[in-house]
Structure 1
């Protein structure tokens, strides 16, 4: 671990981390977007001027400021300006509309709301006014500006709740997740140290900065002092030239992004898609082992995948020097300070190798939810976060996730893991992606339904041929899907393109 990065990781607040990095390498670039480059020194100084402008508008320490802005250098400046002031930030994914945005504004009790005006054909200002938002201001081109001399001292307490992040929409109602500066620094530190990055790397942010992955990634840049390319709206055809132009060495986002890279690589057999790229890294959704092997085999780069959630931005992460078997089949290991407990239905710890519910305790864990009713039961009596995820720990400390509590399909009294079937389906040449869900069934309790996103140019996939393939891969007969749905595209959320299984249950149940 880099000693400087380790020392910076002890910063009490995000602003202290920004200030210390700017003091060390003020002239090194941190953000790259189009023809614009922002250095660490410019990040600190620019954020202070924006903070002064916000102060002039009435934003004070403790003010709740919601912002729904695309991934731009100005957005990062605004966010760190709010961190300098000690305001409470409520980032909202820019693709969300009235229902989700209205919910976030009401639950956070936002005093101010920063919007981009009209962006990608949607009038955010009009939506804000329609929702009755307070303190609406546009922050897309011009940002508030002022003299930093008017500012109060920066916040010193890193354990106060200053962030409200919204769950990504994989359930029908979002939750406001409460974070502190220290919990975000702890999450970003886990990511940074696991990937073995250096100041010579060039990263990329292909997902919304308003996602919990935004501060994760920003902390990583601040700890190791390297830059990242920002994408306001990610599309592979426009992103690839930017990856090549800036010499990106580390890219990714989630499993869906790995698949997009593979699709482009297959158009250029025998060539390096991005000559400087050495590592794909991400998390946020299950990673089938075949995806790992395909990336390494066809792209000639390493793939490391991790486990995180809005409540705990980084829990485990694969390390580039781990074994291929661990990188393909596990979520990596937790960092120092992250405790993972696997428990049975009665909440009792189970031995290594035994599946149970995953529970978490550590500095990166959130403080709960904005709605006290949603917060009930989120922590057990020992202070562990109850995740609802199912998995087991290996003797080596690697975590293997086998599904969600709600993704355990109970068919005729037998527990079936949706992820086990999904991993096998990904090995079929006609399958671009797959989701397996349990649907209500009078006779069986639940029946197994596989929803397949077919790879372009492949033939029809029938229930009989799919079942034959799964039997050939060794899947037990009682786990075979009884229903097959073939779709052009699986429903996904707007941030990490995570499959929305609740929509599949609604559609086919």
Structure 2
């Protein structure tokens, strides 16, 4: 380990000095980027961006798929002291335009075309309605210059004695405009520290970057990689069969990164039940979305290792709980671990409020802060939680993810857990749909396991058998091949409501 870096760029320099020729990233085509190569490429890119007028404090929005360019760009912007706004690839013109205008982006960096979508055309449409913003198209190569022209790296403190805001991450925004959370290197490093400490991350571990690096979890994973010298297997877009083979060939020890990945890995494992797909795996690391009941034991029994090690956090306050490797199965299966010692919490009417070193500096739109924080600076998560006598946290639902049927509240997550316990159910989401008689009706959207059929009567009988109250049993069942999820695993319930609510 290289100790506790103060900034992202200092972590890059320290790791490049400690193990210059060790691999930072390995890609499916065999391309390797070393730690020293990462630093040197970032400095050349920083010089190239400086030649374009990007400097300390410049705001840059960027939307690139996983790849060397996305990592190098983030490092180059850190070297310059720019304020960067990574954007997840699923955002389109409405969201990207809102983000670019609200951040006051000087530059918008996108690929030309990726996965059939013309990002360049979208970006040009965005900048046409955005003041003083240019487009930089990057399909792997960034502008380069002479690093000798760069000023020495500095990380000045702001008026509060803290590192300045250097990151703006937006929540996904389902029913309203996305909200930009302001972070400094201190808060993203605090989140990374939770990762490397609680996973006991080592230089001989091997783990994947399969979810979008532009998600706030990406920088936490990368900084943990830099601190511990752990090689990272990077894929542009997750493909279960090919990437399972790639991860196995390189000796993956920590599988990630959430529910849809674990479901995909289990499907691959079941093709060869007598041969572990990841013989060296010591744990599956989860976060970003709730895990269904029973998934932990399926992973442990079928894939090996200790099962799923969960964490919990939000864009505004990433990674505030963690399970430990030696926690009992009962806790690993049903909880998100304990709230970490450096984080304060309280419950108000069941809602979890948080304050700690990973908490953002508020939203870019100051008007949102009054409702988001209480008088003591605690953040309202919107998540309903239960915390047991040992400090283990169970997220029982979203404050707004409650179905109100004939005046009675139904927790969507409670019904989802019941349905997931059926042996034929591979994945499930429960939503409320408008109903003229009951106000809302409970609808289950189920993806059965491969080769299985699942019917309405079977669903009702199972719910009754496990003791679910009659008023909570879904009145509607929809069968799908797979649930729509965002890149970090959250089910797109708004999309499901639009599909089945008519």
Q: Same fold (TM over 0.5)?
A: yes
**2:491 aligned partner:** 499
3-state SS of 2:38 partner: helix
User: How many residue pairs end up in the alignment?
Assistant: 490
**1:282 aligned partner:** 286
3-state SS of 2:339 partner: coil
**2:470 aligned partner:** 477
The answer on whether the counterparts of 1:342 and 1:393 sit within 8 Å (CA) in structure 2 is: no
Quick one: structure 1 residues 171 and 230, their matched pair in 2 at CA, closer, same or farther if it must change by over 3 Å? farther
Provide the C-alpha distance between the structure 2 equivalents of 1:72 and 1:366, rounded to a whole number of angstroms: 27
Quick one: structure 1 residues 324 and 444, their matched pair in 2 at CA, closer, same or farther if it must change by over 3 Å? same
The answer on whether the counterparts of 1:196 and 1:319 sit within 8 Å (CA) in structure 2 is: no
Matched, 1:52 2:50: no
**1:105 aligned partner:** 100
Structure 1 residue 170 displacement after superposition: 4.3
Matched, 1:321 2:326: yes
**2:142 aligned partner:** 143
The answer on whether the counterparts of 1:50 and 1:77 sit within 8 Å (CA) in structure 2 is: yes
Provide the C-alpha distance between the structure 1 equivalents of 2:432 and 2:330, rounded to a whole number of angstroms: 29
Matched, 1:376 2:370: yes
Matched, 1:190 2:224: no
**1:391 aligned partner:** 385
The answer on whether the counterparts of 2:127 and 2:134 sit within 8 Å (CA) in structure 1 is: no
Structure 1 residue 223 displacement after superposition: 1.9
Provide the C-alpha distance between the structure 1 equivalents of 2:324 and 2:346, rounded to a whole number of angstroms: 21
Q: Deviations over 1:64-97 (max 9, x none)?
A: 1111111011210110110111101011122332
Per mean C-alpha deviation after superposition, the further-off stretch among 425-434 and 115-124 is 115-124
Provide the C-alpha distance between the structure 1 equivalents of 2:271 and 2:387, rounded to a whole number of angstroms: 38
Structure 1 residue 172 displacement after superposition: 4.8
Provide the C-alpha distance between the structure 2 equivalents of 1:390 and 1:94, rounded to a whole number of angstroms: 29
Provide the C-alpha distance between the structure 2 equivalents of 1:487 and 1:169, rounded to a whole number of angstroms: 24
Provide the C-alpha distance between the structure 1 equivalents of 2:172 and 2:308, rounded to a whole number of angstroms: 24
The answer on whether the counterparts of 1:114 and 1:137 sit within 8 Å (CA) in structure 2 is: yes
> Structure 1-normalised TM-score?
0.92
> Structure 2-normalised TM-score?
0.93
Matched, 1:453 2:452: no
RMSD of equivalent CA atoms: 1.8
Provide the C-alpha distance between the structure 2 equivalents of 1:122 and 1:406, rounded to a whole number of angstroms: 32
Provide the C-alpha distance between the structure 1 equivalents of 2:332 and 2:174, rounded to a whole number of angstroms: 26
**2:427 aligned partner:** 433
**1:121 aligned partner:** 116
The answer on whether the counterparts of 1:357 and 1:405 sit within 8 Å (CA) in structure 2 is: yes
The answer on whether the counterparts of 1:191 and 1:220 sit within 8 Å (CA) in structure 2 is: yes
Matched, 1:13 2:4: no
1:160 to 158, 161, 164: 164
**1:244 aligned partner:** 248
Structure 1 residue 371 displacement after superposition: 2.2
**1:348 aligned partner:** none
Structure 1 residue 254 displacement after superposition: 1.2
Structure 1 residue 15 displacement after superposition: 1.1
Per mean C-alpha deviation after superposition, the further-off stretch among 149-158 and 290-299 is 149-158
Structure 1 residue 443 displacement after superposition: 4.2
Q: Deviations over 1:116-140 (max 9, x none)?
A: 2222333322221122262211222
**1:42 aligned partner:** 37
